[in-house]
Structure 1
């Protein structure tokens, strides 16, 4: 029994030894496999690291290349957009710059004009002051009115040699000398006297007044002077001194502003002057009056020329009748000449030519052929006045 157990134990030990050996072999194999796995893992790690490094390097190179290309394209695009924007901005700024340049030039011109205007204004003030001083003298005021009157007459087309006479002198019934500044001759041999001796001294004083109160006082005095002068002018009765003159006289005031100032203070000035047979006339009013007279003169000349044309027509008709009479006599003479020629041709044909042919037949011809005389059959045409052919 014990041997059997010992044998069984020996066998179990042997089996366990075999199992142990097998396990040890398997353990060694596992250890070897483990080492191989570790080596493989190390090799794979190294390979992976190398591959990763290469991949990363290649990726970095590729990415860098792509990024470089994209950056280059983006830079080119940005540069192009920059150029476009620059061109657009320049296109927007260029008109502004041109406008600013033109504005600067115009401002310079305006500055020069303002400077010239200031100089002109200064010269105008100086000339105005000198004119005011000159017009304060009565003889200068009278000359100024005459010059204005002459200018108005020229603008109206009234020339001195046919339509008006300056500084004509005449006398009234009491022997007082009347000297209007202008006498306008009308086409029907009537005359209109024009006086230009308006007193504008008070108006010039008003222009140079220091304050409004002084100015108003001078203007009131000016209006009174105009009214008094119109009254005195009406009392002179210029129309009575000129044969055929209408019963009024024209009082010429050398500026519309003078009449406006007087009417502002005396609204009834024109009516009162008209009652005294005085017509107040500014340059514009007198131009209208003189142009109406000029139209009358033109119509008068047209009527005279029409009369002359009528006389010339009568003379032309008389002479034409005489010419027609001579042409009729000439036609009769031509007709008689044709009749006489035809009778001569008939006589030659019936009497002379047969005798000459007998001479030829007898051998007494000269050898020259006889020319046949032909009668004229054209009749002179008579004048058919007022009839067709």
Structure 2
């Protein structure tokens, strides 16, 4: 890229030197004036080409920086999620091992003192706990697997963002030649491009976005925006495709600067007209406070979008004041990717709540076992010594099970019934 810029500068200096030489000869060689004029015209075209090249270079560097930032953020979040899942799985494995060891010891110690009926009773008490642990482990595995797969897909999609944008633009150029002059086909093609961007972003039709939903105004009139993209928290943003190809195509094929300037002015005016139509529809009022206070107007042909902004740099701010934000395919794809990422974080938080709920049920099950053992101790005088041993293993000594599950409750696990204070006091005293 740097070599290309140096080459352009060298060519520019050579052109200026040649121009100076021709100026010196102007007084002596009148027929060379026409050549000088042509050279000046070429120099002007060359300078315009250099500026356009610099702008495209800056745009590419900005996209590369944005891609690198998104990849770094994704890697950081993925590592944090993996660490959380690892801690939960370790806790689940330790709890399961402790409970299984406890059950085995209880059966072994009671083998000589308890009857078959007592063994069945203890087994029935522990069976729900085993089922809860199995469900907990399965859910943790699912969350870890889903998080890993989603992170890998997002990273790959970020890497392919620039390629996808270029592909969409190339396809748009080919289609533009086929549908120019037919407003209905242009509109259908624009909606198709935006829908493909929505699908590629990872959003799901009917869940995170809707295609041409029927919205009712206060007077009962029906309106059908192209797309409504939903956000977490009950909010939405409206996306509308607006195609301006006729004037843009004339500017590309213009044979003179005058024709090109006239076509560019018509292209900018066409974009303004679409903006005015979109503003007058007042889509944001149809959803009340459930929608953002602006509409995304997508020009699905990236060169047409860039050309309009280059011809009229203030157009972007002019549209924003009318609560209309103009975008091209690349900008819209980045926006949709961010929305999809927000939805993934929302779903992961919901999964974390489910895990906390399961941990609460696990705590409740431990409470039931403790209460059952305490009741059995009172009713089975002959087995008092065995129960004392079981209770001491459950709530006695440093790192006892009662102290661990109480720590889970303090960390935010949802429980329906706390452990008895007497049991907690004994367990926490031994823990200290």
TM-score (norm 2): 0.47
Q: Does 1:385 align with 2:431?
A: no
Cα pair distance change 1:194/1:130, threshold 3 Å: closer
Partner of 1:223: 268
Partner of 1:169: 214
Which of 265, 285, 296 in structure 2 is aligned with 1:250? 296
Partner of 1:192: 237
RMSD: 2.9
Could you tell me which runs of 5 or more consecutive residues in structure 2 were left unpaired when the two chains were aligned.
1-169, 401-432
Q: Deviations over 1:241-278 (max 9, x none)?
A: 01311111110111321122112221110011001000
Partner of 2:228: 183
Distance 1:153 1:247 in 2: 21
Cα pair distance change 1:262/1:386, threshold 3 Å: farther
Distance 2:173 2:293 in 1: 39
Distance 1:268 1:379 in 2: 82
Which of 255, 258, 267 in structure 2 is aligned with 1:213? 258
Distance 1:281 1:224 in 2: 16
- The answer (yes or no) to whether the contact 2:373–2:387 under 8 Å persists in 1 is no
Deviation, 1:321, is 0.8
SS in 2 for 1:248: strand
Deviation, 1:386, is 5.7
Q: Deviations over 1:311-338 (max 9, x none)?
A: 3222222122112222334455565258
TM-score (norm 1): 0.52
Distance 2:369 2:174 in 1: 77
Question: Which is bigger in relative contact order (C-alpha 8 A, separation at least 6)?
Answer: 2
Deviation, 1:303, is 2.7
SS in 2 for 1:173: coil
Which of 192, 197, 206 in structure 2 is aligned with 1:152? 197
Give the structure with higher Rg (CA): 1
Cα pair distance change 1:336/1:191, threshold 3 Å: same
Could you tell me which runs of 5 or more consecutive residues in structure 1 were left unpaired when the two chains were aligned.
1-124, 340-376
Distance 1:326 1:336 in 2: 16
Deviation, 1:145, is 1.0
